[in-house]
Structure 1
Amino acid sequence: DGHTQRLYYLTLKEKFLLRCVQFYLTHTWETVLELTLELPVNSFHTVKFVNLGFDHFNAEKSDKDLIRMQVFTNQIGSMCVCYSQLLKDKQDLIYKIVLIHKDCSKKFKVSLSSDKSSQKLSQLHPLFIPIGYYILVYLQGHFLHCINTRQPELLCHSLFLAGDEVNLGLQCEPVTATVLHTEDRPSGQLLDLAGGTIHSAELSPVFLLQILRSDARPRCPSSKSDPQRLAALHCLLVYMGDDPNLELKIIEWLCDNMNPFESFDQVQEFILASLYRIVYEKCLSLDKVLPYSSIFEKKEVPVCLLEIPGVVCTTELHIETDFKGKARGAQRFWSELQWNTEK
């Protein structure tokens, strides 16, 4: 992490331990964070230090890598550890997002189509792309999961697409791409190691508006598409909502759809999400007390907002994070991270 002068590395004793080392201008250093991770013992066959994910002395990548891992930090004070695990039969993919700033983790298990089983292991690992406080999990030809790391409690606030809807428009093979992460950029960047070109990944307001305006699919209740609409609405309002023209288009959509959907009230969501964005921009720490969505006030949340078809999600609360050194607690850790970032 070049912005904050922090180094992350894995060590294995009884369990895998992710350590974060902070370096200072006085040429001193200290361990500021330790995080226990549940990984298979034989997760990594080889360990190499390479430049931008590319080893000039051994261009052929191993197909035995069952685990891929990345760590992302953000200026708003978020830190995510992302890793994917491909099961040996190639039928299921597991990816996990450890949200250290939320003291929880989300593990997803996705069943892959059987006609893709002939692909190499390296082709079945997803790309983790940070875009603001969203993490895109992209597996070409399979799915795109846009995970909201600020409000991860309900799955309906994260957008999941599968099938024909999944296409980032990459001009290169994902297996030859590596993520270039900088905290001061709102968009993600991908470096094509084969062609030497850099691609930008951004959330498209046009596509999100299409999701809002799309009717329910034939022979399919509207509640099936409600989670996607809700996720798209919050992304447009909270993440992109400072655009007056975009907000006007959302209001026009609301005027054309005044009757509440089966699973949520779009007018209430518009009001709460807009107020959340306005206040959040002025005071970063208010997100813990501000109402983000009316869904939390429901006595019984509709089932369609709590699950993703074909995906098994497991949530773990109170992850084993040990803050050390000057950052003896979570608050000190994030204030130190913010201070180093703003220098």
Structure 2
Amino acid sequence: MALHLVTDFDLRKDALPWLRAQRASWTGAGARGGCAGVLENNYESLRVLNVERNGNIIYTYKDDKGNVSFGLYDCQTRQNEHLYTFEKDLQVVSCSVNSERTLLAASLVQSTKEGRKNELQPGSKCLTLLVEICPVNNVKVLKAVDSYLWVQFLYPHVDSHPLPENHLLLISEEKYIEQFHIQVIQEGGNRVVAKNSGHLRKERVAEDFVWAQWDMSEQRLYYIDMKKSRTLLKCIQFCGDENFKLMFEAPLDISLSDSGFKLVNFGCGYPQDQEKLPKYLSLCIFTNRTGSLCVCYSPKFVSWEQITYSVFYFHKGYSKTFTAALGSVHSPVTKGITFLNLEYYIAVYLPGHFFHLLNIQHPDLICHSLFLTGSNDVISMLPHSPLQSLSGSLVLDWCSGKLYRVFLSQSCLLQFLWHPRPDWEKMAVLHCLLSCGRDPQFVESKIIQWISENISACYSFDPIQEFIIASSYWSIYPETSNMDTLLPYSSVLTWNTEIPGITLVTEEITLPLMKVHSFKSYWEKLNANLDYVKYSKTHLHYNNNMVRREWHSLISEEKTGKRRSKVYVRNILDNAVRVISNLEARNLVSEPRSTPLFQEEDNHQRLLVGLMVSELKDHLLRHLQGVEKKKIEQMVLDYCSKLLDLICRILETSWRKHNLHPWVLHFNRRASAAEFAVFHIMTRILEATRSLFLPLPPGFHTLHTILGVHCLPLHNLLHYIDNGVLLLTETAVTRLMKDLDNTEKNEKLKFSIIVRLPPLIGQKICRLWDHPMSSNIISRNHVKQLLQNYKKQPQSSVIDKSSFSVEFLPLNYFIETLTDIESSNRALYGFEGHDNVDAKFVEEAALKHTTMLLGL
């Protein structure tokens, strides 16, 4: 299954055995009252009531006399604790305990059993009580009304001493929310209600709302205000002290006028009241630490053939409305849609029909989200009972009393890649694995293995490109929340292919209006996201266009013998040195690589690496305000190193798979099928990086060229070289000149290679080949250098014509001219590091070449 549910708490396994043991101990002791007869035999009354911020779980149960009791399960110690017992037959609507476990707030209604009355407060439907439970002292009535009430203690983060007050929220079915301030004092080592607690101070937090959601982890209250003509979403943040702040208001284009009253995450709720709630309406809000704000909404069913649900991506400035086909009429809809928060994703599923994994960080393209229909096995394996997303990865199944921690299943998603599936599913799974993988190194290795086995399996995108871009992005994404606006996360910019079973409508929405001016933590990140949507007029994603232009400029200057400031070039190469050093340091902690890379000074690739570091650093410095320069420099270094590392690992995986060895760098052997396979992988890597203008690790082109010489016929090899697929490096050609003998076939190959070399490299390589053809090329270059600025001068009389023994007048005259130039301008004489090239050398080379052409 795509979702992996790990049980954190099971009411029947973690609480029931303790309750049975309690009953047995009290029964055996013949005790009367207290916990005697703690639970009736059928255990049907045992149910979860609430999950507090610290993870503690409150549950309720009845003894065989109908008395209602409250228990607490401590998630840290894995121990149960009895909190309190009401010796009355009551039904619990809501319950909460303060963080010190000294105060219990509970809302109760009279028993549904015929003939029983609410003896605590006659004439009222719902009674809300505040109970001192440690030590047991008194019970205070907070409310006694005819409407239902829910309670929730606040759990502020306090760094110093405990606060002198507890704060309790009271939520009324009459559409208002109050906050009670309960002063507490220290007595006998326990925190209890103050002696003068006859009149608790309270204040109105919200009113005239129809829907509210409690975020226990972040202590936030979301509610929808219906006072005005439109649906207005508001959020209140509760602070460490008694203060609370209205953080934002945001209009929602939905209708809740006939939806009744609904609460989310305020405990389980009173079961008898569930029939009053709309059966299929679903609305919830999810946030994460990156500053996202998503409102998920599914209205009542209009048709049994399809279902509609919307997600308002406020941090992106638009909403997406999805319409999913329900398919077979033989599988009727018995439950509503379930929304689950999975950090970077939202899971939307309807048991037995579909499962949709929505990418909330990058929701632009539908192919970044995974949509599976009911025919998939993964759907049938998901829980069919309603799940409530609490905070983080916690979800609660109210029916079974199980608390789950939900993860995306890596093994299941990896299997998706290997099965024949459409490109959009492969794309979605790839991103999902990289963003949610708990072991990135393992996940990347599995994806690389899949790529090496399925290099041509995708038609709509290049898997190598997508993997390199996405994995490099996620490797530094946690460093700052603004990375999704500054770095590319996908190689695919548009996606027009429809996904069967689902349609999509995207609309712009009005952004939330922030009501405060000082932001911290999550709110600072949300505000930054909103500012980006409001004020960003251009696309800020980094691209290599500037690097492309600068790199081509430097290469052109190198060819013409010109080069800008040495300091500038040295800084660029120093950037590359740091990246390569960082990359080699990564290799030391992993398995040593057998691929023969990093064994040469590939100046062109080093220039490209250094330029990318420089441009990317400037890009991030411009747009990452408030981030230290050293941190940005390290992020850039890690990003570029990661990019090269991924390329090396793709090549390494193919190298090990085909069991190649470093001796493939020699030319005294025929190519094998394994070398053909690795050459193909390297060619695909080159294609993937070239269109994005990404650097390659030094040594890549040398290895690629040598494999090309092994694997390709001469005409194909030259075609690859002429079209830039194979780049001739000095190292590769040097090996070729040294390792190949001078057979007719090899001579043709060597000459074809030499004439295609850049002049500077060609001059060096020709000296390594002791052959008339090489001498001819050296002579041509020497003559070209001497004659490029030659102006005819009167013949010098000092030339000794008797030294030319061959009576070939055109050649004699030409050699005399060269000798005259050499003797008159020694600055033009010879090539650097090769003093034997002179007019005499040219004469001998010309005669040898003529003899060879004439077959003499």
Range of TM-score over shorter length: 0.7 to 0.9
Distance 2:468 2:332 in 1: 48
Q: How many residues were matched structurally? A: 312
Distance change >3 Å, CA 47–CA 212, structure 1 → 2? closer
Whose Rg is larger? 2
Q: Write the letter of the residue equivalent to 2:232.
A: L
Please list the CA deviations of residues 178-199 of structure 1 after superposition, one character each: whole Å capped at 9, or x if unmatched.
Answer: 22x223xxxx333222221223
Higher relative contact order (Cα pairs below 8 Å, separated by 6+ residues): 1
Distance change >3 Å, CA 86–CA 162, structure 1 → 2? same
Which residues of 2 match residues 1-343 of structure 1 at below 5 A? 1-12=215-226, 13-47=228-262, 51-56=266-271, 58=272, 60-62=274-276, 64-113=278-327, 115=329, 118-120=332-334, 123=335, 125-165=336-376, 166-167=378-379, 169-170=381-382, 173-175=384-386, 177-179=387-389, 181-183=390-392, 188-216=393-421, 225-240=422-437, 242-259=439-456, 261-296=458-493, 301-304=494-497, 307-326=498-517, 333-334=524-525
Distance 1:136 1:34 in 2: 26
Please list the CA deviations of residues 206-260 of structure 1 after superposition, one character each: whole Å capped at 9, or x if unmatched.
Answer: 11112111125xxxxxxxx000001101111232174322221111111112226
Residues 327 and 336, structure 1, Cα contact 8 Å, conserved in 2 = no
Distance 2:321 2:240 in 1: 37
Residues 290 and 526, structure 2, Cα contact 8 Å, conserved in 1 = no
SS in 2 for 1:39: coil
TM-score normalised by length of structure 2:
0.34
Residues 54 and 193, structure 1, Cα contact 8 Å, conserved in 2 = no
| Bigger proportion of residues as helix | 2
The CA deviation at 1:111 is 2.5
Distance change >3 Å, CA 240–CA 117, structure 1 → 2? closer
Distance 1:168 1:113 in 2: 15
Q: Which shows bigger deviation, 4-13 or 134-143?
A: 4-13
Residues 309 and 322, structure 2, Cα contact 8 Å, conserved in 1 = yes
Note the aligned Cα RMSD (angstroms). Answer: 2.8
The CA deviation at 1:116 is 5.4
Q: Write the letter of the residue equivalent to 1:195.
A: S
Residues 43 and 66, structure 1, Cα contact 8 Å, conserved in 2 = no
Please list the CA deviations of residues 1-28 of structure 1 after superposition, one character each: whole Å capped at 9, or x if unmatched.
Answer: 2333321001122111111112233422
Please list the CA deviations of residues 89-147 of structure 1 after superposition, one character each: whole Å capped at 9, or x if unmatched.
Answer: 33331111111222221111123235158544xx1x21101112100001101100000
Q: Percent identity?
A: 33
Distance change >3 Å, CA 195–CA 302, structure 1 → 2? closer
SS in 1 for 2:329: helix
SS in 2 for 1:209: helix
Distance change >3 Å, CA 96–CA 321, structure 1 → 2? same
Q: Write the letter of the residue equivalent to 1:7.
A: L
TM-score normalised by length of structure 1:
0.81
Distance change >3 Å, CA 53–CA 326, structure 1 → 2? farther
Distance 1:102 1:49 in 2: 24
SS in 1 for 2:379: coil
Distance 1:254 1:215 in 2: 14
Residues 32 and 326, structure 1, Cα contact 8 Å, conserved in 2 = no
The CA deviation at 1:335 is 6.6
Please list the CA deviations of residues 138-182 of structure 1 after superposition, one character each: whole Å capped at 9, or x if unmatched.
Answer: 1101100000000000000000000221426345x323x322x22
| Bigger proportion of residues as strand | 1
Distance 2:264 2:459 in 1: 52
The CA deviation at 1:74 is 1.1
